[in-house]
Amino acid sequence: MTTKHISPMEERIQKIHEESVVIDALGGFGFSYSDILAGGINATNVTLAVFACQGMDYSMNQIIRYYGLMEMAPDRVILVQEAQDILKAKQEGKLGIIFGFQNASPLGENVTLLSIFHKLGVRIIQLTYSEANALGCGCLEPTDTGLTSFGVQVVQGMNRLGLLVDLSHTGYRTSRDAIEVSEDPVTFTHANPLALKDSPRNRPDDLIRMVAERGGVMGLVPYTSFCKSAPGKRATLEDFIDQIDYVIQLVGVDHVGIGTDKFEGRTKEEHLLEFLNRYAKMMIPFEHRHVEGFSHIRHFPRITEGLLSRGYSDEDCGKIIGGNFYSLFQRVWKNPGF
């Protein structure tokens, strides 16, 4: 019987992951929990609603599916309702499932539903998904009119309950309004700096600074369309680490995390069916949607390796791969729910 040799770098990465809380701030999908766990991830933010047409009924069906998963695999997954549940998940070798919306559409125009969804376990809500809704404008709207009065009510309600405000897909003016209205720190769970890649989905320096100055965290995303790259080339993992470097130089290491936007387990057909007609100009080959070197969620430790190769300390790596988001969750999630 042969013993696999582990290099000093692999040993160091393994140690960092063992000693750190590893969080995917926007994994999107939690049903491939074995693969996510194999990537060394302790908790992932799953998406219960994306588009404006996905209202309360749709999100409730998604919640039912995840409760079913947790009932069928209690030894593998756990619902995260407070930050300490992530530590519990790590200690028990389970995947912590964080319920999140990428669109506030399930609320309709009823702010009272915030309390209901909070009790069911929702902990992160992205105000808009690219287009406008009752709260404000998304990043693809040609004119951003800012946060609506209903949007203000929702942000204030989220602060009261302890729900994290996500602005990853939100328009510029609506984002500024939300940051200023919110009494708690806010986040970009999955976005990159506009300064390195000109995409409406990326965030300008002033917004990144505003989020950081108020204690928030930006999750960088290894999604090809939003990463800098050589002309005509698919972005690489090194290109992605460049994004992390840039934001750290801009606002400091305490305000940076990772949101893979991986949706591990989703098929090519499901992906195309959902996005092709909406964002045809932004579509790239399914197999290349993430940067070269990060084609599977099991490759998550390669991010840690890339950070170490750039000279980041073990402590800073631990912050980036999850520690900063864990601290943010501790600060914002005030109430455990039921």
- In sequence order, which residues have a C-beta less than 8 Å from that of residue 247 and are 6 or more positions away? 193, 208, 218, 220, 255, 256
Within 10 Å of residue 265's Cβ, how many Cβ atoms? 17
Q: What is the CA radius of gyration of the chain?
A: 19
Look at residue 276 and tell me whether its pLDDT is greater than 60. no
- List pLDDT tens digits, range 303-330: 999 999 999 999 999 999 999 999 999 9
- List pLDDT tens digits, range 71-80: 999 999 999 9
Q: How sure is the predictor about 53, in pLDDT bands with cuts at 50, 70 and 90?
A: confident
Whole-Å CA distances, 247 to 123, 186, 195, 308: 25, 16, 10, 17
Average pLDDT over residues 166-173: 98
Using CA atoms, how far apart are residues 295 and 289, in angstroms rounded to an integer?
8
Query: Which pLDDT does position 6 carry in this prediction?
Result: 86
**Token pair for 261:** 């936007």
Q: Which residue has the higher pLDDT, 338 or 51?
A: 51
Look at residue 187 and tell me whether its pLDDT is greater than 80. yes
Strand partners, 77: 95
Domains of the chain (ranges plus CATH)?
20-332 (3.20.20.140)
Average pLDDT over residues 244-249: 98
* pLDDT over 90 percentage in the chain: 87
Q: How sure is the predictor about 284, in pLDDT bands with cuts at 50, 70 and 90?
A: low
Query: Which pLDDT does position 52 carry in this prediction?
Result: 86
Q: Which of 329, 118, 124, 121 is nearest to 217 (CA)?
A: 329
Strand partners, 23: 43
